[in-house]
Structure 1
Amino acid sequence: MAGNIASQTISEIVIQDNKKTKTSFIKKLARVKEGHVLDTTKLEADIIRLKRLPASSHAYYQVHKKDDGTYKVVYGFEENFTIIPSANVYTTNDDEFAFRLGLYEFNGLGRGLIFGGFFQRDIFNSYAINFRAPYLFSNKIGIAFNYQNLTTQEPVFLDEGVADYKYNNTSYEVLGLYEFSLKHKVAAGVNYFTETYNYIEGATNPEVPQDLKVKKLLYKVLYEFNAVDTYYQYFEGFKSLFNFQYVTTRSDALPEFLIGFNDFIYYKRVGERGNWANRLRLGVASNNDSPFAPFAVDNNLNIRGVGNTIDRGTAAIVLNTEYRHTLFEKDWFVLQSNVFVDGGSWRNPGGDFGDFGDNQNLRIYPGVGLRFIHKRIFNTVFRIDYGYGITKDATNGFVFGIGQYF
């Protein structure tokens, strides 16, 4: 038995086809090492991990037996171009127009460092800078820093009607990142931020301030379960993303609260060219009777075509389901069609869970879209969707962006 085990030993690991990505970084991530016994299960797990890197468009392994009876393992690493612009643009039938443009490097120094930022114009100007190093300290431990200065015009829903406020959120965030295994990751940290509300126009209420500035501290825990396998533009499997936050404040107008939500995501290959994608979000927060509720109904978050932050709530149920079909594929280019239904409902601030069945809160938006995909550039999916509401007081509109909606 000892002789048989020795003959299965890996004596050499070779990384090929990587140009920008450092060989030392790939070997650092791989759980299979020289001197290990050959195990195809572990090799396949390494390939899944490598394919999930922004730097990788595809990865594979080969095993070669050497003259001395040991084995050489070759990891093939097909690289993505990783300096990528980001863009999101949307309109609705009331001529609303907003956009977000950004630029990110997803493979900094050839070691998987992510750095970049964005500029947003949504009536007012906003910007952010982000840095993420998921494997900075080891193949399990990393860190992330985020700065954001976000300014928007926000509707505040009062008993007397709707008021428009100029809203600003300036935040500084640090997160520690830890990868338990291929499927399980966690992030935890703190966010210090200042919220400012300035009344513009609309309804007023003597109990709701017209000018408000509050400093807050947010504690955050994120957990990801990921059992999704990818093959270029196709996805197969299940993923769960959990987000829990505790926000402290000294303001009675914006009281402290808890918020938690989970995205359940399921992908299924359909034949050779089809992909069925689903996302269910369940969320609940402290049920404060406040016009500044945390869950928003918004084009870029959950319901395509609905408009920019048209409502708020203290709990949410949202289901997005879509069928993606590859119409044309040649070399690096893919044209993909998309048919979707986005639907959701919200609990009113201070209300109860019966609000989910209220026609005022229910939104259903079917729609169609196209995807223009570059297979050799990370996340280069140019999408355009048109959503058409079929529920009460519905709108319709286009949503443009880079990357799949989910």
Structure 2
Amino acid sequence: MRSSLLLIALMVSFIGFSQEPIIENIEIEGLKRTKESFIRRLIKVKPGSVYDSLKIATDIERLNRLPGVANANSKIIENSATKYSVTYTIVENFTIIPGLRVSQANNGEESAFRVSAFEFNLFGQGQLLGGFYSKDVFNSYGVFWEAPFLFSNKLGVGVNYQSNITFEPIFAENNGVSEDFRYRKQAFQASLLYEHDFHNRAELGFSFGNQEYNLQPDQPNTEVPDQIKASTIGIIGEYEFNDLLIEYQYLSGFRNQTNIEYLFNSGASEFIPNAFIGINNLEYFKRVGKKGNFANRLKLSYTTNRDSPFAPFTLDNQINIRGVGNTVDRGTASIVLNTEYRHTLFEKGWFVVQGNTFLDAGTWRNPGNDISQLFDGSSVRVSPGLGLRFIHKRIFNTVIRIDYGFGIANAKTSGLVFGIGQFF
């Protein structure tokens, strides 16, 4: 009997010593505008779960990606041998962000501008609400609402409406003469947003609207009608794999984003036929020492709308090649590589000055050409350059960007580029 009691005591003791520690309590500190209930819904570590340092690290990465969070970290307190407490400490971002962009208008005679305002943490739940107004010869506007976690910590929705009217140079296939059109596109878009896990998310949606091209006066038109109209219905998909580590202005890891769209166009089918459009962005970042950051982006674009002069991909300062100018060319396929080294020159408290040296390079397939044009060198643009960044660490995406690109291949255009946010 005595030996049986001893055996039972040893078994109970062994079970006690081998028991995994449990998360007894979770505290969240530092919140001002963000709802605590929203943060608790997103994090994977829950009270009563087994302590897992990897899950806690994943929660920190997830929180650091939120627009409303400037920085997050964790602290573990051992209450007893089998019970831990976890404290998440959050430094919040200011998330009501105005925007201003000024440039030369596409007609080369006027100034163009775009003003915007966006709230990236609406209701303290990571929702986006905002809009823009721009004038580039003509007036344009758009409104956006996105709630990535509206229905659960995985499922949300996004909607937007845009009316864009721009002055567009269209390049005729045979004579190479640029013809200037007033291009108007109105579209409503709605999408479901789904986050499968921490690294993978997807969107599926639709759009409907119309497009209209009107030839401007005194143009040397020889191939394209004076007016083209089409109604458009689109099916839209997006997939993103995100494995980025974010620490204020520094990034490391990689991210890949694929966007696909199929457009059904009724009317003007000769010039705006049904088309598949695909764009893939691959980004890779690496920390270099304590103050350096190596950044790279490879962007591949393709459409089946090969012969129409109204090609969807533009060569532009703000999109792909810094220094070339505003909407200087169009293409039906493109390969663009942007690589840059960012180095922190000054940092104190919330303010950072960052220097930047970059190389932008790209090649285009012009309307009517074969895919081989991407590789024959005839449309290559190369632009090395230097830049500065002025960064506010407590305001989401507040990076005032100034770059000067020097064109060295084909069109040797150089120029200064201003913007808000990192180029990529």
Q: Same fold (TM over 0.5)?
A: yes
Equivalence for 1:392: 410
Structure 2 residue aligned with 1:119: 133
Deviates more, 1:49-58 or 1:295-304: 295-304
Q: Counterparts of 1:293 and 1:203 in 2: how far apart (Å)?
A: 19
TM-score (norm 1): 0.96
1:46 equivalenced with 2:59 (yes/no): yes
For the Cα contact (< 8 Å) 2:273–2:305, is it kept in 1? no
Distance 2:371 2:78 in 1: 63
Q: 1:82 aligns to what?
A: 95
**2:301 counterpart (283, 303, 307):** 283
Q: Which amino acid aligns with 1:294?
A: P
Q: CA deviation at 1:232?
A: 0.6
Aligned partners of 1:380 and 1:5: how far apart in 2?
Answer: 49
1:190-209 matched pairs, under 5 angstroms: 190-201=206-217, 202-205=219-222, 207-209=223-225
Q: CA deviation at 1:313?
A: 1.3
Structure possessing the higher relative contact order (Cα contacts under 8 Å, 6 or more residues apart): 1
1:243 deviation in Å? 0.5
Which of 146, 153, 160 is residue 146 of structure 1 equivalent to?
160
2: CA distance between counterparts of 1:44 and 1:31?
10
Letter in 1 for 2:402: I
1:272 aligned to 257, 282, 290, which one? Answer: 290
**How many angstroms does 1:348 deviate by?**
1.9
In the other structure, the counterpart of 2:374 is 356
C-alpha contact (below 8 Å) 1:130/1:146 kept by paired residues: yes
Name the CA shift for 1:354/1:388 in 2 (closer, same or farther; >3 Å): same
- For structure 2, list consecutive stretches of 5 or more residues without a partner in the other structure: 1-13
Tell me the distance in 1 between the aligned counterparts of 2:151 and 2:130.
21
Q: Which amino acid aligns with 1:116?
A: G
Deviations 1:251-277 (A, max 9, x none): 212100101111110011111111111
User: What are the equivalent positions in structure 2 for 1:51-70 lying under 5 Å apart?
Assistant: 51-67=64-80, 69-70=82-83
1:350 Cα shift?
Answer: 2.6
In structure 2, the partner of 1:23 is 36
* Aligned residue identity for 1:154: E
Pairwise CA distance, 1:173: 0.3
Rg comparison, structure with higher value = 2
Does the aligned pair in 2 maintain the 1:363–1:391 contact within 8 Å?
yes
1:91, 1:399 within 8 Å by CA — same for their partners in 2? no
- Tell me how large the CA RMSD over aligned residues is: 1.7
Output the CA distance in 2 between the equivalents of 1:276 and 1:372: 18
Q: Does 1:315 align with 2:311?
A: no
Give how far 1:163 is off: 0.5
The DSSP-based 3-state class of the residue aligned with 2:374 is helix
Change (3 A) 1:99 1:92: closer
**Superposition map of 1:230-249 within 5 A:** 230-249=246-265
Q: Which ranges in structure 1 are unaligned for 5 or more consecutive residues?
A: none
Give the aligned length: 405
Q: Contact (CA 8 Å) 1:80, 1:378: kept in 2 or not?
A: yes
In structure 2, the residue corresponding to 1:49 is in which secondary structure? Answer: helix
CA distance in 2, matches of 1:217, 1:266: 34
Q: For the residues of structure 2 that align with 1:100 and 1:316, how far apart are their CA atoms?
A: 26
- Name the CA distance, whole Å, in 1 between partners of 2:169 and 2:133: 22
In 2, Cα distance between the equivalents of 1:349 and 1:223? 28
The more displaced of 329-338 and 64-73 is 64-73
Q: TM-score, normalised by structure 2?
A: 0.92
Report the equivalent of 1:175: 191
Q: Cα distance, 1:401 vs. partner?
A: 1.0
Q: Which stretch of the first structure deviates more once superposed, 31-40 or 248-257?
A: 248-257
Q: Percent identity?
A: 47
Cα deviations by residue, 1:163-204 (Å, 9 ceiling, x for unpaired): 000011111000100001111010110011211111104221
Select the residue among 92, 100, 115 that pairs with 1:101: 115
- Alpha-carbon spacing, 1:5–1:199, altered in 2? closer, same or farther (3 Å): farther
